[in-house]
Amino acid sequence: MKRKSDANRIQLSAAVLLSIALLSGCATTVITPEIEERVGSEMSVQVRDQIGLYADPELDAYLQGVAARLVTALGPTPYTFRFAIVDQFEPNAFASPGGYIYVSRGLLAQMNDEAELAGVLAHEISHVTRRHHARQIGRSVDVGLITLPGRAVGVVSKALGDLINAPIEAAGQVYLASFSRDQESEADAYGMRLAADAGYNPSSLADALRGIERTVEVLTGEKRSASFFDSHPTTPARVADISRESASLSVTPVAPIADQVQLYRYLNGMWVGRQNPQQGVFVGESFRNADLDFTITFPEKWKTTNTPRFVAAAEPDGGAYLALGSTNDTATISELIDGMVQKMRVEAGIEPAERRTLTVGSWPAEVLRYEDNSKDKTVSLYYMLVQSPEQKFMLVAMGFDHFRDTLRASVFSLRQLSASERNSIGGLRLRVAEPRPGEDLSAVGQRVSSKWPVEFAAAINGLAATNAPVAGRPIKFSQAERYKPAL
C-alpha cells in the first residue's frame, strides 16, 4: 500500500471484459490496433493498481533507452510502445495488447548484460507486433466482490469497492496471456531478428532464459506463480532452437548504453526481497507502513494481500474480509460517516448497533458497527474512517457473526507506528562489490555479509559455479537495510 493512491478503482471494467471477449477469437470480429490499444490502456491501470510500478527514475530511464533502440529498429508500426518496471520479486516479463510491456524488478536483478535485457524486450515486442493477444483464448475472470449475504453487506460493499472492487483472493493478480508453443517460437524468432537489427547479440535471449530458469530453480520451495515461465514456458529444446537460429543472423554490433559495470550501477540499491518496504511490509500478522505511519494486525492464518491501493485479509473459507486503504473523498470523516448511516437507513433499513468517535494515536477517527440480520445468517460489519495528516483512511470489515470479535480486534488494532517499529522496517537491497585478489564468490559473499546463499548468488551473477573466478568483474549481492521513509 503506497502513499497518496489515486481514485481509479481496481477492477476489470466492463470495457476490459468486453474487449477480452473480443480478443478471445470470435471469427466475426475484426480486432483492430485501436481495440488492442484500448484494452492495453485499461489493463495498464490494472497493472499499476494491483501489482504496482517500481519507483526508480534512473533505472527506468535506462530501460526506456534500451527499449527505444529496439522500437527504432522495428520501423513503422501501428502501435505506440510503453515500457515500465513492475514491483514483483519474481523474474517476470509480459506484454498486454496495444504495446504495453512490463519487466519486473526481479527480472532486472537477473540481468548481467544489456543484450539479455534487449532480447527479453524484443521477445515481448514481437508478441505485440505478431498480434498474439488477438489470436489467443483469454481465460475467464471473476469480478465478484463479496459473497456474504445481506442487504447491508451490499451497501458496505460499495464503499469497499472504492478500495478494491475485486475478490480479495484475486487482488494483486492481473489477466496475463498464456501463449501457445507456436506463438512463443514465433516471438523468439522475430524478437531475435529485432534484437540483431538493433545491434544486439540475438543469442543473448537464450542466455537470459537459462539464467532466469536457473535462478528460479535455486529458489527451492519458492512459489513460481508469478514467474516468467508461467506465461513463457521454456524447455531445453526451445533454448537450443534459439541458439541455433540466432547463429544464422547477421549483426552489426553497436556499443551498449551500459556495459556490465554501468548496468550494475543502475541496479545498485534496488529492493530485491519478496517484500518492497516502499509498499509496507508484513511482520507476522502485523502490517507496517513507514511512509504512512501506521500498523494493523490481521487475524492469524488469514490470507493477506498488499497492493499499491490497499492492504487486506480474507478468512480462508471466505467467511470474513477486511480491507484498509485511502480515499480521496474531500468530505470530512464525520460527513462520510453520516452519509453511510443514511445509506444504510434507506437502502438496508437498519441503524448502527454502535457509533464511536475515537483517536488513532493523534489522528481523529469514527467507526460504525452493524449487525445485518436480513438473511439466514447474521453478518457483522465495521466501517471506520481515520484522518491522518497525509490522507484519509477507510477500513471496511465484514464477516459472519462468529467472526465479530476477530474483526473487532483487527479493526481496533490500527494505530500509529512506535519508534522501534518504524526503525525495524527494511528489506533486502541489491548492492555491488569489487572482488579482492584471490577471492571466489563465497569469499566475497562472506566479506560483505550477503544475504543470498552462494548458489543463488552464482545464478543471479551469471557464474557457472560457486567457486568460479570472479577477479576483474563486479559482483551483485544482497544486503539487509533499514527503510528510510519518504519525506
- Among 130, 127, 133, 126, residue whose Cα is nearest residue 73: 126
pLDDT of residue 475: 97
Joined together, the cell numbers standing for residue 457 give 548468488
**Both 362 and 453 in a single domain?**
no
Range of the domain at 37: 31-139+175-267
pLDDT of residue 169: 45
Domain boundary pick from 369, 384, 417 = 417
- Asked if residue 17 belongs to a domain, the reply is no
**Both 259 and 356 in a single domain?**
no
Question: Count of domains in the chain?
Answer: 3
**Both 393 and 304 in a single domain?**
yes
**Both 45 and 181 in a single domain?**
yes
Return averaged pLDDT per consecutive 10 residues of the chain, 487 residues in all: 50 41 48 86 86 95 98 95 95 91 96 97 95 58 57 82 56 62 88 96 91 80 49 67 86 94 98 95 96 96 91 93 91 96 94 96 96 90 94 94 96 96 96 94 95 93 84 95 86
- Asked if residue 157 belongs to a domain, the reply is no
The dihedral over CA atoms of 125, 130, 136, 139, expressed in degrees to the nearest 10, equals: 20
**Both 112 and 192 in a single domain?**
yes
**Both 432 and 391 in a single domain?**
no
Domain boundary pick from 226, 245, 267 = 267
**Both 297 and 339 in a single domain?**
yes
Strands 100-104 and 82-86: parallel
Phi, psi of 375 (to 5 degrees): -120, -170
Q: DSSP character for 440? A: B
Domain boundary pick from 362, 387, 417 = 417
**Both 40 and 92 in a single domain?**
yes
Residue showing cell 527514475: 57
- Asked if residue 304 belongs to a domain, the reply is yes
- Asked if residue 145 belongs to a domain, the reply is no
Report d(CA 476, CA 454) in Å as an integer. Answer: 11
Chain Cα centroid distance, residue 260: 27
Phi, psi of 353 (to 5 degrees): -75, -20
Report d(CA 259, CA 205) in Å as an integer. Answer: 17
Name the β-bridge partners of 312: 305, 323
Report d(CA 315, CA 301) in Å as an integer. Answer: 8
Alpha helices in 166-285 (DSSP H): 181-197, 204-218, 228-231, 236-246, 260-267
**Both 309 and 379 in a single domain?**
yes
465: domain CATH number?
3.10.350
DSSP for 87-100, written as a single string: --SS--EEEETTTE
Report d(CA 410, CA 280) in Å as an integer. Answer: 17
CB 400 within 8 Å of CB 319: yes
**Both 253 and 308 in a single domain?**
no
Note the pTM of the prediction, 2 decimals: 0.87
Report d(CA 351, CA 227) in Å as an integer. Answer: 48
**Both 436 and 393 in a single domain?**
no
- Asked if residue 3 belongs to a domain, the reply is no
**Both 80 and 223 in a single domain?**
yes
